[in-house]
């Protein structure tokens, strides 16, 4: 079983540890169907007391010291055509306009960061989500179901790298919490993992059963801080295993009762609703947190739902109380209808509450250097479109959480401004990613279609 990085044992592998320090983790967290932008713009610009969280993030007030809100960026608005969800999701981590019905794209930032972290612990990267059943548009399902891409890499003579458009591979996400658990803690071979998982279930044994007898040997070689860390890790894994034994799995479960007429997309075969969805997301959150704590991987992407999803959110009490339609995509197209706006607002509030809960999980776990996991991470949170009703890609906000080990100074609202359709005045996602990649020791001078200037958003 993979253990977290334990400073007590670092003397046995100093060379390897040196190449992986400081610890720098990256997680991209996507949610679908845009923002309720009327209530999603912070009051004030700057740091500390000079800015306030918007109403949509009110439940994250305790996390404000760890948050950075980036506003005013443009990402493909200048090339906007029919297919906003696919365009936005394709460009979310690439800043690149997709090629319709072809897997032609450039490398996404998570994969670039994963390459830069090669040689560190565990998996290069991990892609997770909740379903693969959402509808598509004119660009193809690989642009509405995938946020992570492997594409061409160019090493330049000046020591920089470039990531041009070319034949690319969309990296499908794992939606089954049990399979994700097995991959993280039972090896990376699919056939071996499946066989071991079935054997363990048949014998009703835990993955911990085979390592607990060795726990005493290990603890004798650890200092008190590392002993406490191992105890916390074992407790977390055991608790997660016990929950997963009775968990409904995406793709194999039936939603608990019929959805309201017209609220559930009939093609959404793998999408869970109600308490099943709540449990599934919570499992995925726990898996991601433990994967970071174990240092199994340092790069993760998570899709709360596919783009264009019409997941039924009537299980949320505030949504149910409003009655009527509860399908995410439908109500995002509210057209200024007061009833639909009210429902869309509550769905968006719920998403932000869920994301806040995940950030607290990271903040509540101790990393190898004694800081919490969120301190050593940068969590990029965003949607494929800006405003849910307008479907725009200008003034497209990003919410960041974490300090990346001190490289990012949070508790700030950073806002860039552009003038109308004069796109030479707009700062872009590509500009944002130039500096992001430098924080992970990747030197680029351009990125995506429009990134030409490194933005100093981190300090």
- DSSP H helical ranges for 7-132: 14-19, 84-92, 109-116
- Supply the pLDDT for residue 1: 54
**Would you state the pLDDT for residue 42?**
97
Residue 4 clears pLDDT 70, i.e. is over it: no
Q: 45 pLDDT exceeds 60?
A: yes
| Least confidently predicted of 133-137, 205-209, 286-290 | 205-209
Q: Does 82 have pLDDT greater than 80?
A: yes
Mean pLDDT of 423-428: 97
Cβ 1 vs Cβ 208: under 8 Å = yes
From residue 343, alpha-carbon distances to 291, 314, 332 in Å are: 35, 10, 9
The answer to whether 109 touches 93, Cβ cutoff 8 Å, is yes
Mean pLDDT confidence for 259-285:
59
Question: 284: Cβ–Cβ under 8 A, 6 or more apart, which residues?
Answer: 128, 130, 177, 180, 302
Q: Which residue has the higher pLDDT, 279 or 37?
A: 37
Predicted pLDDT at 262: 29
Residue 280 has what pLDDT? 84
Report the run of H or E that residue 199 belongs to, with start and end. Answer: helix 190-203
State the residue for tokens 């041009």: 164
| Burial label, 345 (beta-carbon count in 10 A; 0-12, 13-18, 19+) | buried
Average pLDDT score over the chain: 83
74-83, 120-129, 273-282, 433-442: least confidently modelled range: 273-282
pLDDT at 55 over 80: yes
In terms of pLDDT, which residue wins out, 15 or 202? 202
Strands (E), 355-438: 377-383, 398-401, 412-415
Q: Quick one: pLDDT band at residue 376, thresholds 50, 70, 90?
A: very high
11-26 burial, b for 16+ CB within 10 Å, e for fewer? Answer: eeeeeebeebeebbbb
Specify the higher pLDDT residue, 353 or 273.
Answer: 353
| Confidence bin at 250 (pLDDT 50/70/90) | very low
Q: Cβ distance 413 to 42 under 8 Å?
A: yes
Does pLDDT of 268 surpass 50? no
CA distance 376 to 115: 18
Provide mean pLDDT across the span 372-393.
96
Closest to 25 (Cα-Cα) out of 262, 286, 379:
379
Instruction: Quote the pLDDT of residue 232.
Output: 66
Q: How many residues does the chain have?
A: 459
Highest mean pLDDT among 85-89, 184-188, 214-218, 239-243 belongs to 85-89
């Amino acid at each position: 079983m993979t253990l977290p990085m334990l400073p007590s044992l670092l003397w046995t592998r100093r060379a390897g540890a040196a190449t992986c320090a400081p610890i720098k983790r990256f997680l991209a967290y996507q949610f679908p169907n845009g923002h309720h932008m009327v209530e999603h713009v912070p009051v004030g610009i700057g740091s500390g007391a000079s800015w306030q969280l918007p109403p949509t993030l009110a439940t994250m007030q305790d996390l404000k010291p760890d948050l950075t809100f980036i506003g005013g960026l443009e990402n493909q608005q200048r090339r906007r055509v029919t297919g906003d969800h696919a365009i936005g999701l394709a460009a979310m981590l690439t800043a690149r306009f997709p090629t319709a019905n072809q897997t032609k794209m450039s490398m996404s930032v998570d994969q670039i960061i994963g390459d830069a972290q090669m040689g560190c612990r565990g998996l290069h990267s991990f892609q997770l989500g909740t379903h693969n059943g959402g509808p598509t548009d004119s660009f193809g399902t690989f642009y509405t179901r995938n946020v992570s891409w492997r594409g061409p890499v160019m090493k330049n003579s000046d020591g920089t790298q470039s990531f041009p458009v070319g034949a690319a591979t969309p990296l499908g996400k794992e939606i089954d919490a049990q399979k994700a658990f097995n991959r993280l803690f039972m090896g990376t071979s699919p056939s071996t993992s499946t066989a071991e998982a079935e054997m363990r279930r048949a014998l009703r044994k835990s993955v911990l059963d085979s390592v607990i007898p060795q726990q005493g040997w290990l603890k004798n070689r650890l200092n008190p801080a590392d002993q406490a860390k191992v105890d916390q890790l074992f407790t977390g894994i055991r608790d997660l295993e016990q929950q997963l034994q009775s968990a409904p799995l995406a793709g194999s479960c039936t939603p608990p009762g019929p959805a309201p007429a017209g609220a559930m997309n009939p093609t959404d075969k793998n999408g869970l609703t109600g308490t099943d969805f709540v449990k599934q997301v919570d499992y995925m959150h726990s898996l991601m947190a433990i994967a970071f704590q174990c240092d199994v991987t340092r790069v993760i992407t998570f899709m709360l739902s596919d783009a264009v999803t019409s997941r039924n959110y009537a299980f949320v009490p505030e949504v149910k109380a409003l009655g009527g339609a509860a399908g995410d995509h439908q109500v995002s197209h509210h057209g200024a209808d007061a009833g639909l706006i009210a429902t869309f607002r509550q769905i968006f509030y719920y998403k932000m509450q869920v994301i806040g809960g995940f950030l607290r999980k990271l903040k509540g776990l101790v990393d190898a250097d004694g800081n919490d996991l969120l301190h050593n991470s940068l969590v990029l949170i965003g949607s494929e479109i800006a405003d849910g009703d307008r479907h725009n890609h200008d003034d497209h906000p990003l919410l960041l959480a974490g300090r990346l080990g001190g490289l990012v100074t949070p508790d700030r609202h950073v806002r860039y401004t552009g003038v109308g359709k004069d796109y030479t005045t707009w700062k872009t996602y590509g500009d944002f990613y130039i500096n992001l990649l430098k924080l992970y020791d990747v030197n680029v001078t351009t990125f995506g279609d429009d990134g030409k200037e490194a933005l100093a958003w981190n300090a």
